Amino acid sequence: MTDTERPRITITYCTGCNWLLRAGWMAQELLSTFGEDLAEVALIPGHGGIYEIRLGDMLLWERKRDGGFPEPKEIKRRIRDVIEPGRDLGHIDRGTT
């Protein structure tokens, strides 16, 4: 699969709020789970309290809209449901109904 076929994730975070570490941690979680199934996970500095995660042009999470910060397992599920719906996420999928 080429980079143009693999999805790109962007995490836009507020520099004034010091959310770089949070964004970096989320990027690490996504790369640990999806690895080479992603073309890239990009961190984009912003301002005004922004924290959003996109899969291509699709907005997966927006802090103000969705009420705070996401748990990694929620974002992983949302990404999986788009790029590979049949994929088992291991312990993340256990215990859900």
* 1 within domain boundaries: no
Element (H, E) at 22: helix 20-34
* 59 within domain boundaries: yes
Model pTM score? 0.89
* Rounded Cα distance, 75 and 60, in Å: 7
- For the domain that residue 63 is a member of, what is the CATH number? 3.40.30.10
* 97 within domain boundaries: no
Write out pLDDT tens, residues 46-58: 999 999 999 999 9
* 33 within domain boundaries: yes
How many domains does one find in the chain?
Answer: 1
Q: Please list, in sequence order, all residues whose beta carbon lies within 8 angstroms of the beta carbon of residue 70, skipping any fewer than 6 positions away.
A: 26, 53, 61
Reported in sequence order, the residue ranges of the chain that DSSP labels E, i.e. its strands, are: 8-14, 40-46, 51-55, 58-62
* 27 within domain boundaries: yes
- Lowest-confidence segment of 27-36, 75-84, 86-95 by average pLDDT: 86-95
Supply the range of the domain harboring residue 59.
8-91
Q: Please list, in sequence order, all residues whose beta carbon lies within 8 angstroms of the beta carbon of residue 80, skipping any fewer than 6 positions away.
A: 87, 89
* 35 within domain boundaries: yes
